[in-house]
Amino acid sequence: MEWWHYAGLGLAALAAGFVDAIAGGGGLLTVPALLWAGLDPAAALGTNKMQSCCGTALAVRNYARGGLLREQELLAGILWTAAAAAVGAMVVSRVPVELLRRSVPWLLIVIAIYTAVSPKMSDLHGERRVSGGVFACGFGLLLGFYDGAFGPGTGSFWTMACVLLLGLGLRHATAYTKVMNLTSNLASLAVFLWAGVVRFEVAGVMIAGQLAGAQLGSGMVLKNGSRVIRPVLITTVLLMAGKLLWEQWRR
């Protein structure tokens, strides 16, 4: 790799860290950048998980300091999500992902439309419809496995579930989502590290960009709440849906 590859990867990680801290979807930038730099797909995915984990961890720390996280409500979700994500990463080659490829883009479009028009997608808390334990078990298993095995849109699904079922405001839902994203990413990263496909020298450069982007993005969420979350969430969800639909069309 040449120096301009590292420079490009650092800039991609900066932008991805910013987007990830607010709405997720930073992999839309970093995975293609890693492939452009010449990494094979397995190394690109493993290296992407490492650098992404660092940016997400910083965002989680900032959200915790901002009072958006209630630790007693997170433990069960972390345990279920970690276990399911590890299983998903290990069996990814055996999972029939074609159904996911076909259905996920349309689910993401529905999320974008709902986010744009629903008054519930605000910083105000709503009615809780399920207990924290049931929510943690059900969505930890479902979305943890999905993130380990496939991944696109996981953060958007978490945020929507937090708003509709836990009654969280969009700011708190984003913080909860980042904790679960970090959990499933760490579990998946452990599998990639065990497989020996992480490029540490590349991850190191990208981590610097991720941390800077995550600091900027989480700061904007803490300051502006739904005013910044909604437009970024809608944009990234539509971009993810468009990317997946384009890949289907090319096949």
List, for residues 158-198, the tens digit of each pLDDT value: 999 999 999 999 899 999 999 999 998 898 888 889 989 89
Residue 98 has pLDDT above 70, yes or no: no
Residue 99 pLDDT class (50, 70, 90 cuts): low
What pLDDT sits at residue 251? 67
Following DSSP, what letter does each residue of 63-127 receive, concatenated?
A: HHHTT---HHHHHHHHHHHHHHHHHHHHSGGGS--HHHHHHHHHHHHHHHHHHHH-TTSSSS---
Rounded alpha-carbon distances, angstroms, from residue 225 to 84, 173, 180, 219, 221 = 30, 10, 19, 10, 5
Q: Bigger pLDDT: 152 or 147?
A: 147
What pLDDT sits at residue 31? 87
Mean pLDDT of 217-243: 89
What pLDDT sits at residue 47? 92
Mean pLDDT of 106-129: 82
How far is residue 169's CA from residue 185's CA, in Å, rounded to a whole number? 24
Mean pLDDT of 69-91: 85
Residue 1 pLDDT class (50, 70, 90 cuts): confident
How far is residue 20's CA from residue 11's CA, in Å, rounded to a whole number? 14
pLDDT digits (tens, 9 = 90+) for 38-78: 888 888 888 999 999 999 999 999 999 998 987 777 888 99
Mean pLDDT score across all residues of the chain? 87
> Of 55, 44, 54, which is closest to residue 21 (Cα–Cα)?
55
Region of poorest pLDDT, from 84-93, 161-170, 214-223: 84-93
Domain range for residue 24? 3-250
Total domains in the fold of the chain: 1
